[in-house]
A = this chain, B = another copy of it.
Amino acid sequence: MTALDDHSVRPTVTTGPIAGSEKVHHEIHDPATGCVLRIPRRRVGLANGTHIDLYDTSGPYTDSTAAIDPRAGLPRTREAWAARREPVGGAATQLAWAKAGLITPEMRFVADREGMDPEAVRAEVALGRAVIPANRRHPESEPMAIGKRFLVKVNANIGNSAVSSSIEEEVEKMVWATRWGADTVMDLSTGQRIHETREWILRNSPVPVGTVPLYQALEKVKGDPARLSWEVYRDTVVEQAEQGVDYMTVHAGVLLRYVPLTARRVTGIVSRGGSIMAAWCLAHHRENFLYTHFEELCEILRGYDVTFSLGDGLRPGSIADANDEAQFAELRTLGELTHLARAHDVQVMVEGPGHVPLHKIAENVRLEEELCGEAPFYTLGPLATDIAPGYDHITSAIGAAQIAWHGTAMLCYVTPKEHLGLPDRDDVKTGVITYKLAAHAADLAKGHPRAQEWDDALSQARFEFRWRDQFHLALDPETAQAYHDETLPAEPAKTAHFCSMCGPKFCSMRISQDVRAFAERRGLSTTAAIEHGMREKSAEFADGGNRVYLPLADD
């Protein structure tokens, strides 16, 4: 019996399109396998007859034509692709194929999704500058890439704890997080039924799933770090790889000699995995077994194409500890391990901080790129200040936008409950939306070719008083409309040519439209011509009774 046959578990998940959007698929032919690839998009239809297609992470759950049954799991689409391709040099990993010059269906899928050339995707993967986390045992996932030439990605952490949560809740959290834009989820369960929870998540997840195998390994030894061993850990990794975990955080850079470097920190070691390995190292006064067995680990991960996420166990947990010796010593070791993993044809990304003031953020990216051969950087925030518990999704979004602009490829979200409690459903959504906007701010700053289309479409709708289009184009249409309803709930307000902030008399966009309408009526196409035409504007205004602002009743 598999976990999904357990009839006491009855997940119900959120389905249906996001308000104002419909799911569409772009179908392309993959010449290497002969398969047809169906790339999902969130299409927002606009009142002016046009539409805009947005990157879509939500899987079949937002497809009104899809049949959803969590007990059956999602379609195992990638199985057909895998059946038609061969390992290269013994390795069946995206990195091995990319190095061999082969474009996989996953690369082609990603290229279409990001509006890039498939060959460019292959080249980035071959260089190790991008990863496509796609365990062959997780064929339900829709391929995505993490790398600095791609759209900045967002991860949402889910998972139960000793304190609370059920399998049903975790499956819904995954669906919920991807609905709002999570590009990957990490299952960080540390409570009951870890294996079963993960199985339910994997079989139903359209996005790559990451884990920290150390957590489950620690549960297996009753929570005593000193009783951990390479053998327990290895078996856990194999168990999780078999299930289909796409990437794993491995704290192999927490070396025995680095632990004393944390002794005088304000907040010591704040990574759970880091503290567990530090405890093990101290208990045995031996080197971290993840470091000493790293090449064996590479061989296991290669067998499934699991991607390494090299954990920053010594990341700073406060502004005071940012960019210190412990942090950068570990980063140097992660660089060494990155090159080792790549030599084994295993994909790698590298995790980063944490808590860093704005002026110390760029240095983190520069060093990571230098030491880790530009492996995708995957950072937790960072928080730009420590003084606002309850608002750490915001303190960290400030740092996240900054670090992503400088080159971080994926951001791990932070919810409002960070440091204080367990995120609920609303917190998960707030965290994801906050991080999506931070990631998008970075995409704009990096000049991603298609990023600004979205901003322009929304601003155009705002300027033209297409209120519904403005809501539908929002990252969170429901909240945008709810806020508008609070002040101006009536239906006519949704087509009103003013907003509730200024009221009809003070609407700045009205005069702007007037200026433009004037120019267009005259067929003026250059600023000089408009300037010329403006000289006549004065008279026309007087003729019209000087009424720039029409009374509310006219709307």
Q: Are A260 and B519 within 8 A (Cβ)?
A: yes
Identify which of residues 223-267 in chain A touch chain B, using a CB-to-CB cut-off of 8 Å: 223-227, 256-257, 259-267
Identify which of residues 468-486 in chain A touch chain B, using a CB-to-CB cut-off of 8 Å: 470-471, 473-476, 479-480, 482-484, 486
| Closest chain B CB from A10 CB (angstroms) | 25
When chains A and B are docked, how far (Å) is the Cα of A271 from the Cα of B227?
65
Partner of A456, one of B162, B266, B284, B503: B266
Q: Are A459 and B163 within 8 A (Cβ)?
A: no
Which of the segments A97-105, A121-129, A431-439 contacts the partner chain?
Answer: A431-439
Q: Are A319 and B161 within 8 A (Cβ)?
A: no
Identify which of residues 459-505 in chain A touch chain B, using a CB-to-CB cut-off of 8 Å: 459-460, 462-463, 470-471, 473-476, 479-480, 482-484, 486-488, 499-505
Identify which of residues 502-517 in chain A touch chain B, using a CB-to-CB cut-off of 8 Å: 502-516
A174 within 8 A of B: no
When chains A and B are docked, how far (Å) is the Cα of A190 from the Cα of B502?
8
Q: Are A463 and B267 within 8 A (Cβ)?
A: yes
Partner of A268, one of B218, B224, B274, B515: B515
Q: Given the interface contacts A190-B506, A470-B389, does A460 sit within 8 Å of B512 by beta carbon?
A: no
Please report the total number of A residues contacting B with Cβ < 8 Å. Answer: 141
Q: Are B283 and A538 within 8 A (Cβ)?
A: yes
- A residues sitting closer than 8 Å to B (CB atoms) are 161-164, 190, 215, 218, 223-227, 256-257, 259-272, 274-276, 278-279, 282-286, 317-320, 355, 357-359, 384-391, 393-395, 397-399, 401-402, 405, 416-422, 424, 433-434, 436-438, 440-442, 444-447, 452, 454-456, 458-460, 462-463, 470-471, 473-476, 479-480, 482-484, 486-488, 499-516, 519, 524, 527, 530-531, 533-535, 537-539, 541-542, 546-549
5 contacts between A and B (CB under 8 A): A259-B534, A391-B479, A398-B402, A398-B437, A420-B500
Taking A318-B462, A416-B483 as given, write out 13 further A-B residue pairs in contact, using a Cβ cutoff of 8 Å, ordered by the A residue number: A218-B506, A266-B459, A275-B509, A358-B401, A358-B445, A359-B444, A388-B474, A389-B480, A391-B437, A394-B394, A398-B437, A417-B487, A417-B501
